[in-house]
Amino acid sequence: MALAADGGGGMTDDVAVLGAGMHPWGKWGRGFAVYGTAAARAALADAGLDRRDIGSIVGADTVRGGYPGYVAGATFAKALGWQGARVTSVYAACASGAQAIGTARAQILAGLSDVVLVIGADSAPKGFFRPAGGDRPDDPDWLRFRVLGATNPAYFGLYARRRMAMHGDTVDDFARVKVKNATAGALNPNARYRKRVTAEEVAASAVVADPLRLLDICATSDGGAALVLSSMAFARRHGATDPVRIRAVSTITPRYPNTVLDLPDIATDSAVAVEPTGETFRASIVRAAYDEAGTGPEDLSLAEVYDLSTALELQWYEDLGLCGEGEAAKLLRDGATTLGGRIPVNASGGLASFGEAVPAQAIAQVCELTWQLRGGAGDRQVAGARVGISANQGLFGHGSAVIAVR
């Protein structure tokens, strides 16, 4: 259902993106607050605002940052300089950034703050992520590591095998995703990996979780991203007559029963009593965003999706409705999702080029949408971009999708 216009070139539930900023991804050996404050200062400069103009700061938490990471909002507020702003800290695993954006939008629409600064940053460990320390037998994430031995790469490999068995995807298709994203990432100054790769190089990299190789799986990275969001009225007073606007934020949870294997839950089944829904959790995340925005996949100019592995990017094509079930590999082979194609996916280079800095990633996706919709993405610019979507999910049933428009 379409939203009502507000009479000033926006929609009643839109918020403006006045600024976007990032700290480049890499392994820099610094604390997460360093990356977050650098990104925040860049976003403030982009917005033409001072930190004292900010009415609220929402920080996406990182459990790897110790106590400061658990109170990321206050940590960032202190690092930038206490100035009396409201503060909120949000944790939702990989969906933390989207929940931070959703929290900021809610504060703006409720009239609590005209301008909100959203920040996420991480200092990641070497190797793959694992649960925080301690025994937690009621934690499905802890259980999959300790009982099943299913690390993240193992899960990615299982999902790749599922696509191969169900849809006929091949290791060559997975390699094509990496080649595509590396080509885009080579054009992005904030990316950690700025080198094109060939399918042969993907095939020659070490096997991590069969059938996936090292270059099929994203790295863990340090990085930071930030956005300055405001009410449409403030944006107009500030001279931003046609800003990028956030039109939808989906942070929904799964429905029971969940009969498709998903991370970290294995599956639930109560088909005797409750009929399964007709869509997967990821597809429901995206549908909720489309419904809220009054738009659909046919309206998209580009998409930023969470390519934790090459196979998972292909799954997002179907979840986004860019093609039918089992048709993702064909969409890729036809060049539709490459720069210059019908619907570019991960024009930023994706996690393939950045690596994963968990609480920053969903915010970084919206930074990319912002630059693309402004027409300021340089050599990776998607021509005529008007509507973009970001999508990922977080552990423990956190949805994450954002729709931005211009």
- Residue 300 domain flag: yes
- Residue 6 domain flag: no
Examine the domain organization and report whether 45 and 167 are in the same domain.
no
- Residue 337 domain flag: yes
Domain carrying residue 123: 15-127+223-245
Q: What is the pLDDT of residue 10?
A: 44
Q: What is the pLDDT of residue 162?
A: 93
Contacts of 123 (CB under 8 A, 6+ apart): 30, 31, 32, 35, 62, 64, 65, 222
Examine the domain organization and report whether 380 and 266 are in the same domain.
yes
pLDDT by position in tens, the chain (length 406): 344 344 334 456 899 999 999 999 999 999 999 999 999 999 999 999 999 999 999 999 998 888 999 999 999 999 999 999 999 999 999 999 999 999 999 999 999 999 999 999 999 888 777 777 778 888 878 888 887 788 889 989 999 999 999 999 999 999 999 999 999 999 999 999 999 999 999 999 999 999 999 999 999 999 999 999 999 999 999 999 999 999 999 999 988 877 776 766 666 667 677 787 788 889 999 999 999 999 999 999 999 999 999 999 999 999 999 999 999 999 999 999 999 999 999 999 999 999 999 999 999 999 999 999 999 999 999 999 999 999 999 888 899 999 999 9
- Residue 255 domain flag: yes
Examine the domain organization and report whether 156 and 36 are in the same domain.
no
Q: Structurally, how many domains does the chain consist of?
A: 2
Examine the domain organization and report whether 97 and 146 are in the same domain.
no
- Residue 174 domain flag: yes
d(CA 287, CA 310): 23
Q: Are 69 and 40 in contact (CB under 8 A)?
A: no
Q: Which amino acid belongs to residue 22?
A: M
CATH number for the domain harbouring residue 191: 3.40.47.10
The residue among 92, 175, 170, 141 whose CA lies nearest residue 399 is 92
The residue among 262, 256, 252 whose CA lies nearest residue 274 is 256
- Residue 72 domain flag: yes
Contacts of 110 (CB under 8 A, 6+ apart): none
Examine the domain organization and report whether 184 and 326 are in the same domain.
yes
Q: What is the pLDDT of residue 198?
A: 98
Q: What is the pLDDT of residue 397?
A: 83
Which residue is it, tokens 């940590």? 75
